[in-house]
């Protein structure tokens, strides 16, 4: 899951730069920048257009394991911090809000074979 998060977020700095230059109604697409080895130590970003024309910017620092969420107003350029969280302990959970079958139940069934 950690790799998936990093894969989604790598290189979105380019996307954020493109978003600030593009009209607010256009979607922003993230592209990879650099090799996976370089991105493991780099702060990464992902920008997503919101329904109101603003952008949501996710910033992830894999070294500190901190995730930040910002909203960028397309008209004024104002940046608002919406949320920040250290996800170190989140990444060590085996389940949260899970439904049956839970991961332990699946593992138990597979190991019985």
Q: What is the pLDDT of residue 18?
A: 39
d(C-alpha 27, C-alpha 48), whole Å = 7
Residue with tokens 């989140």: 90
Give the count of domains, the chain.
1
User: Is the CB of residue 44 less than 8 Å from the CB of residue 57?
Assistant: no
Residue 61: partners with Cβ closer than 8 Å, 6 or more residues away:
43
Domain residue limits at 11: 2-111
Q: What is the pLDDT of residue 9?
A: 40
Secondary-structure breakdown of the chain: helix, strand, coil percentages, each rounded to the nearest 5: 30, 25, 45
pLDDT digits (tens, 9 = 90+) for 8-65: 343 344 334 334 444 444 555 555 555 455 545 799 999 999 999 999 999 999 999 9
pTM, rounded to two decimals? 0.55
Residue 74 in tokens? 């397309």
Q: What is the pLDDT of residue 33?
A: 53
For range 85-100, the mean pLDDT: 89
């Amino acid at each position: 899951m950690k790799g998936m998060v990093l894969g989604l977020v790598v290189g979105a700095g380019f996307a954020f730069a493109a978003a600030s230059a593009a009209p607010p109604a256009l979607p922003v697409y993230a592209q990879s920048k650099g090799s996976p080895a370089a991105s493991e130590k780099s702060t990464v970003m992902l920008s997503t257009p919101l329904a109101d024309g603003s952008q949501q910017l996710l910033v992830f620092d894999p070294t500190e394991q901190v995730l930040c969420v910002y909203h960028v107003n397309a008209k004024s350029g104002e940046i608002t911090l919406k949320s920040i969280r250290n996800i170190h302990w989140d990444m060590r959970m085996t389940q949260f809000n899970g439904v049956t079958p839970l991961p332990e139940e699946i593992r138990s069934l597979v190991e019985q074979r």
